[in-house]
Structure 1
Amino acid sequence: MKFDHYIIRPLTTDDLAPYFDMVERNRKRLEDFFTGTVSRTQSLEATREFLADIIERAKNRTYFPYLIIDEQDGRFAGFLDLKNIDWSIPKSEVGFYIDEDYAGKGVGTKALRTFCTYCFPTFGFRKLFLRTHDSNTAAKRMAENCGFEREGVLRRDYKTTSGELVDLIYYGRLD
């Protein structure tokens, strides 16, 4: 997948060092809502195990991790994934984060739009959904700009790393 001077491609084990660097640069921003990623990438070796695990899950078609890469310098600009896949519907949750250096520049919105356009025919999904919290105005704006509709709020639906229970806003997009 490609847009502007960015490509979106599946994550591989060869991405270990730059992926670890991206998480490390964004660790503080990710810690409350990407708890699995943050907790499992504390060192390069731990990240190697984490990548092996999620790539195995991709082989089993239960999870699909992707990178957003700036072709101008090869830097990782962000991450997208498909998770909580239900093949019987078929539907999937889309997760994403954008590197702090690329945030607020429209990269995330274009990446999400491109990714969704790819996912419907490639995987045969009838629905993609995402969840975010009320204070994440960027994610809410991205969802709405990419054709997702707000479907509702599930109260106290997520526990942050700090233990706070927060409401999650659900957005859905149909094929």
Structure 2
Amino acid sequence: MIETERLLLKPYSLDFAEEFYTKFQNDKTYLGDYFSRTLSVTKTLQETKLYFQKKIESFKSEEGLYFGIFLKESDELIGHISVTEIDWSVPKGELAYFIFNDFSGNKYSYEALEAFRDFCMNEKEMLRIFMKIAPDNIASKKVAEFCNFEFEGLLKNDYRKRQEVLTDMLLYSFTKTD
């Protein structure tokens, strides 16, 4: 578990799969553009539990690090943060996060990203983590830059919004310097 002033970042557990399912389904329009793959495998509570079980196994094997973001004071699930596509030979991985719409605008993403970035760099000894951000996602660009991720370039035709519309992505990274 990772603790900040207002948040707890907890590894995925079946204990909060139902809460995730309910909130994710309620926010599917809000999250659908950039988490369409997750949406496609969490259409029912049973699918969501299976999705969680796969992420828990991936965490155990260190193929991916998946955390729920919770409010410290109420233990309410407010989002997700993860590193996937981990290459331990570097080591590096791709970071993604979201905050459920009801909780956006409170700078929780800044707090979660800084803590998770530090966890990846210090506890997991990664040398590089990167994020792909849609050019129209101004809020995520601001969060990345505030958390000292550097813009590296434009990835042409890199992602399909809602698994349909081909779009470019911006590449941001944070690297550990000696």
User: TM class, shorter-chain normalised?
Assistant: over 0.9
| Structure-2 separation of matches of 1:16 and 1:75 | 12
| Structure-2 separation of matches of 1:133 and 1:49 | 28
- Deviation per CA, 1:62-103: give whole Å up to 9, x if none: 111101101222211110001011111111111000011111
When the two structures are superposed, what TM-score results if normalisation uses the length of structure 2?
0.94
Matches within 5 A, 1:64-143: 64-143=65-144
| Structure-2 separation of matches of 1:148 and 1:162 | 26
When the two structures are superposed, what TM-score results if normalisation uses the length of structure 1?
0.96
Q: Match of 1:30? A: 31
List structure 1 segments (4+ residues) > 4 angstroms apart after TM superposition.
none
Structure 1, unmatched stretches of 5+, are none
Per the TM alignment, residue 141 of structure 1 is displaced from its structure 2 partner at its CA by: 0.3
Q: Match of 1:62? A: 63
Q: Match of 2:44? A: 43
| Structure-2 separation of matches of 1:5 and 1:163 | 37
Q: Given that residues 12 and 55 in structure 2 are in contact (C-alpha distance below 8 angstroms), is that contact kept between their aligned partners in structure 1?
A: no
| Structure-1 separation of matches of 2:21 and 2:5 | 25
| Structure-1 separation of matches of 2:54 and 2:174 | 28
Letter in 1 for 2:95: V
Per the TM alignment, residue 6 of structure 1 is displaced from its structure 2 partner at its CA by: 1.3
Per the TM alignment, residue 26 of structure 1 is displaced from its structure 2 partner at its CA by: 1.5
Per the TM alignment, residue 18 of structure 1 is displaced from its structure 2 partner at its CA by: 1.1
| Structure-2 separation of matches of 1:3 and 1:53 | 27
Query: Alignment RMSD, CA only?
Result: 1.1
- Deviation per CA, 1:14-71: give whole Å up to 9, x if none: 1111111221221111112112210111111111111111111112211111011012
Letter in 2 for 1:14: D
Identity of aligned residues (%): 26
Structure 2, unmatched stretches of 5+, are none
Per the TM alignment, residue 5 of structure 1 is displaced from its structure 2 partner at its CA by: 2.3
Q: Match of 1:5? A: 6
Per the TM alignment, residue 162 of structure 1 is displaced from its structure 2 partner at its CA by: 5.3
Per the TM alignment, residue 119 of structure 1 is displaced from its structure 2 partner at its CA by: 1.1
Q: Given that residues 148 and 174 in structure 2 are in contact (C-alpha distance below 8 angstroms), is that contact kept between their aligned partners in structure 1?
A: yes
Q: Given that residues 37 and 163 in structure 2 are in contact (C-alpha distance below 8 angstroms), is that contact kept between their aligned partners in structure 1?
A: no
Letter in 2 for 1:132: I
| Structure-1 separation of matches of 2:156 and 2:29 | 25
Q: Given that residues 94 and 129 in structure 2 are in contact (C-alpha distance below 8 angstroms), is that contact kept between their aligned partners in structure 1?
A: yes
| Structure-2 separation of matches of 1:25 and 1:4 | 27
Q: Match of 1:165? A: 166
